[in-house]
Amino acid sequence: MADHNELGDKGEQEAIDFLIKKGYTILEKNYRYLKAEVDVIAMKDNMLVAVEVKTRSSAYFGNPEDFVNKKKIKLLVFAMDNYVVKRDLDVNVRFDIIAILREKNQTKIEHFEDAFLYF
């Protein structure tokens, strides 16, 4: 497995651990629908939360959250629409980003709730 895949997998697990500590219930990991993938689907306080996890080993090219572009947002919304309809859920959906930066043996985790409001 390529180093970037391992970094991403470790980041997703760190994000899941982080969310559990904050009281989230994890429902799905790597939910796929056609070409779209949601890294983590969780529930907290009757809110369904789609989480995009971005992990980087350096901020040299930008912060991890900066790599969520409009195309990715569109795919996430598409996948979550399928998830909600397929399960006949009547819930509010929120889209979050968890940005993980691993530099010099330090890990920084930032949780951006309702992250797509800023796009």
Q: How far apart are CA 81 and CA 76, in angstroms?
A: 8
> In the structure encoding, which two tokens stand for residue 31, read together?
């939910």
What's the predicted TM-score (pTM) here?
A: 0.89
Q: What domains are defined for the chain?
A: 3-118 (3.40.1350.10)
Model pLDDT, residue 59: 65
Please name every residue paired with 25 in a beta bridge, in sequence order, or none if there are none. 43
Looking at residue 118, what is its pLDDT? 58
User: What contacts 14, CB < 8 A, 6 or more positions away?
Assistant: 55, 100, 107, 109
- pLDDT tens for the 119 residues of the chain, in order: 555 567 667 889 999 999 999 999 999 999 999 999 999 999 999 999 999 999 887 766 777 787 888 899 999 999 999 999 999 999 999 999 999 988 778 889 999 999 987 55
